[in-house]
Structure 1
């Protein structure tokens, strides 16, 4: 089962969910705020993607971090920061079971999900 991680009021997440629905692709939505995050799950995302991909450095959550914290960010610090502020995750996070992808691009998702369904 495909899982989309995000927050319900995020415009990009709304666009991604609409795209999935328009293409009749079944998915489960996991709201980072209301459904929470599991530490081991975030650790595995960081191992697979690295903090540079997983963390949205253009977000208001990132900009709200102390400058020293931003400059010293690494996977370990990102884990603590994400668990404290899940909105640091670049949204949406698409989990197709055997791999994860951050952000939404219709052409990229189409290629990825076409590959996934073969």
Structure 2
């Protein structure tokens, strides 16, 4: 009997999110995809994600980050991340993957090793 689904939060047009979903499914995981802009309950999820990955969640190499004012960017280092990420969900480094109670951010080799074995 398969275990609980891995929940992948991302964007439908994000190549990294699609790759992560494809590789997780190929490894036998059941993946539930949740669009971070349209379907995710960020009010509930952001505190959990920020606690699990406080230094990884804000994507400072994104086009959205580059378009922010210096005042908005300053919020990212002063515990204002929740408000900033709620206002600009595309600032969230993707994918965010929930596997049971574990939260993984991005699709780097460390995350792949943990989730793919």
TM-score by length of 1: 0.83
Could you tell me how far apart the structure 1 residues matched to 2:78 and 2:70 are?
Answer: 17
Residues paired across the two proteins, number: 113
**Contact 1:56–1:62 (Cα < 8 Å) also in 2:** yes
Unmatched 5+ stretches in structure 2: none
Question: CA RMSD for the aligned pairs?
Answer: 1.8
Could you tell me how far apart the structure 1 residues matched to 2:11 and 2:62 are?
Answer: 13
Could you tell me how far apart the structure 2 residues matched to 1:14 and 1:60 are?
Answer: 19
2:47 matches 1:47: no
- The counterpart of 2:7, out of the listed 3, 9, 19, is 3
Could you tell me how far apart the structure 1 residues matched to 2:78 and 2:106 are?
Answer: 19
Could you tell me how far apart the structure 1 residues matched to 2:79 and 2:41 are?
Answer: 16
TM-score by length of 2: 0.84
Unmatched 5+ stretches in structure 1: none
Q: Which runs of 4+ in 1 moved over 6 A?
A: none
The structural deviation recorded for 1:74 is 3.0
